[in-house]
Chains A and B, each alone.
Chain A
Amino acid sequence: MIKPFITRKHQEKLIEWFFFLNGIVVVAILAGIFMLLLMNAIPAFREVSIAHFLSKPIWNPDAYDQPTYGLLPMLVSSLMVTVGSLVVAIPLGIGTAAYLSDVASPRVREIAKPAVEILAGIPSVVVGFLGIVLVGPVISKLTGTYNGLNALNGSILLAVMALPTIISLSEDALTSVPRSYEEASLALGASRWQTVILVKIPAAASGILAACMLGMGRAIGETMTVLMATGNAAEFPHSFLGPVKTMTSTIAIELGEVAYYTTHFYMLFAVGLILFIITFIINLISDIIFHKHTRLQ
């Protein structure tokens, strides 16, 4: 019998290697994003010191005499709209999740869960558009600001963007609480409300926390909604009714205008790198919390 050039066994090994390489691609992409951001950010710090970047309270790359590249105004802006959005989205999201897991009838749940998915599917540019045409005028009328494009508007829109993540993951966490917890609580004479608040939500706390962290990651990295609805004034943010320019919108606006391979260009990659690191840390924390949660069960 002639031995085939490639035996079955070798063929199997080759196929397995092929899929292994395919699996490794994901790691390579994540590392690649980090490396490319870093490589393009480093040249920026040949002309501007890292201390300048992290401490100057002004971002003014087009200044005639001495351009300044301070991260602080946009970092504070990003944090402002993110915190603002979470103030709305966390209670609303957890409330909705608790409703879906413990109050809603199966039929309502059957309709409401796809509805949450639909909300998640609305593109951010559409949400941003509605921020201009719907939310803006309302804010303008209520507060007397010019066009209602400010941090408050951005916060409201980001809450809408973060809600689906918070709702569906919190609901998963609540439904994965063992039934025996609930039954024990009810058997001891607690009302259903007490069971939800005092037993189920605490039992699902780590899952809910992970959901909120992920929602926060979504909010801080959101681009189009804040770009369209926050007014984008390059000044240090002072109130929720004033315009702000977040890290994401700064990149989105200025990368289109900047000459490539200038300090300003590299600086935008530095901002991107900071954004990448922030979201990476947030995701990592939520990952750790979430895994603790699943291991406990």
Chain B
Amino acid sequence: MKKPKRLKITETLGFLTLRLCMACVAMILIVIFYDIITKGAGVISWDFLTKPPVDGMTKGGIFPAIVGTFFTTIITALLSVPLGMGCAIYLNEYAKDDGLTRFIRMSIRNLSGVPSIVYGLFGVALFVEACHFGTSILAAGSTLGLMTLPLTITASEEALKTVPRAYREGSLALGATKWQAIWTNVLPYAVPGMLTGTILGLSRAAGETAPILFTGAAFFLPDIPNSILSQFMALPYHLYIMSTQHHNIELVRPIAYGTALVLIVLIFSMNLMAIIIRYHLRKKGIAHG
């Protein structure tokens, strides 16, 4: 019985290789977090979070960047949430399974593959120039809004799919119109799930840099923006500036680490919020109804 033994060895070695692959991916994740947390945590203080940068951005905090990212994300949400939910409702409730629907779905998948810098070019041509928004929170937020649209649509449709057919049919059987059935018997159950996906999409937008490079992000502003047509500082852009464009990169490295940590914490607390919403839904037994 020589063969089975050799098989056993190959199997052990093979599975070991697969385990090593997983270990390698886990290591990447651990190294990223370890480096940023250990070197960034020391920089974080109340002043760092609530004061603007001073002395040629070599000291002080990142308050304007936090505020800028916050406002931009709100504009992003205002554009991508209603559009995304509407599109998902069309696809899941109204659309027939025909060529046009397949074409729309193909467009969505392609939109999600368009490089972020191309969205940046599009934002410059459409929002900054053609719409005369100038480089502003409005232009940058709108660009990011279009960029997150595919994510919002896909997530919203997932949420709509989890609502059982019987909910719609029960309502229709009682004489409700299609829209009444959707409004009273589908959306109330789907909206929280849609929200989860939407927040995940927004967290992606909050971390994006390339689309806002030319649509509104500013190198340095002493004050927080006072209208949606003003330029703004943003956390991801600030990190880019602090690690490549600043005149004394070595000196400001701790600030860069601090910015990276704040950005990561912001994004993962948004993700956590989404996960908590999803968890509560599952407990209520709706998400998998």
Q: Residues of A with Cβ closer than 8 Å to B?
A: 8, 11-12, 15-16, 18-20, 22-27, 29-30, 32-33, 36-37, 39-40, 91-92, 95-96, 98-100, 102-104, 112, 115-116, 118-119, 121-130, 132-134, 160, 163, 167, 191-194, 196-197, 214, 217-218, 220-224, 227-228, 248, 251-252, 255-256, 260, 268-269, 272, 275-276, 279-280, 282-284, 287
Cβ contact within 8 Å between A252 and B117? yes
The answer to whether A103 and B15 touch across the interface, beta carbons within 8 angstroms, is: yes
- Whether B113 contacts A272 by the Cβ 8 Å rule is no
Supposing A27-B107, A275-B117, A279-B115 touch, asked if A37 and B122 sit within 8 A by C-beta, the answer is yes
| Known contacts A98-B18, A191-B10; 11 further A-B pairs (Cβ under 8 A) | A12-B179, A40-B125, A92-B21, A95-B21, A99-B18, A112-B26, A119-B29, A126-B264, A220-B115, A252-B117, A256-B214
Mark contacts of B59-100 with chain A using CB atoms, 8 A cut-off: 1 yes-contact digit, 0 otherwise: 000000000000000000000000100110111011100000
B196 CB–A CB distance under 8 Å: no
Main secondary structure on A side of the interface with B: helix
Give the residue name and chain of the B residue nearest to A101 (CB). Answer: B18
Chain B residues with CB below 8 A from A160, complex form: 28
- B24 lies within 8 A of A224 (CB): no
Q: How many A-B residue pairs have CB under 8 A?
A: 254
- Separation in Å of the A168 CB from the closest CB of chain B? 11
Question: B15 touches which one: A23, A30, A193 (CB < 8 A)?
Answer: A193
Q: Which residues of A contact B103 (CB under 8 A)?
A: 27
Q: Is B22 at the interface (CB under 8 A from chain A)?
A: yes
A187 smallest CB distance to B (angstroms) = 16
Determine the residue in chain A with the shortest Cβ distance to B275: A114
Interface status of B41 (Cβ within 8 A of chain A): no
**Contacting residues, chain B, for A99 (C-beta < 8 A):** 15, 18-19, 21-22
Q: Does B1 contact A (CB under 8 A)?
A: no
Contact with A along B237-257 (1 / 0, CB 8 A): 101100110000000010010
In the complex, chain A residues whose CB is within 8 Å of the CB of B179: 11-12, 15-16
Q: Find out whether the CB atom of A103 lies under 8 angstroms from the CB atom of B19.
A: yes
What is the minimal beta-carbon distance from A158 to any residue of chain B, in angstroms?
A: 12
Query: Which residues of chain B (89-147) have a CB below 8 Å from chain A?
Result: 89-91, 93-95, 103-104, 106-111, 113-122, 124-126, 129, 146
Q: Are A275 and B177 in contact (CB under 8 A)?
A: no
Interchain CB contact under 8 A, A121 and B122: no
Complexed CA–CA distance, A27 and B213 (Å)? 25
Q: Are B87 and A22 in contact, CB atoms less than 8 angstroms apart? A: yes
Residue from B28, B86, B111, B271 within 8 A of A19 (CB atoms)? B86
Q: Are A96 and B253 in contact (CB under 8 A)?
A: no
CA gap between A54 and B179 in the complex, in Å: 53
Q: Which residue of B lies closest to A250 (CB)?
A: B117
Given A29-B146, A119-B28, A193-B11, A223 and B116 contact (CB-CB distance below 8 Å): yes
CB distance from B213 to the nearest CB of A (A): 6
Chain A residues within 8 Å of B104, by CB: 23-24, 26-27
Which residues of B sit under 8 angstroms from A133, Cβ to Cβ?
35, 243, 253
Q: Which residues of B contact A104 (CB under 8 A)?
A: 22
The complex places the Cα of A125 from the Cα of B264 at a distance, in Å, of 11
A98-B18, A228-B243 in contact; A123/B121 too (CB < 8 A)?
A: no
Residues of chain A lying within 8 A (CB to CB) of residue B178:
12, 16
CB-nearest residue of chain B to A88: B24
Q: Does B184 contact A (CB under 8 A)?
A: no
Question: Which stretch, B161-169, B187-195, B203-211, B280-288, touches the partner chain A?
Answer: B203-211
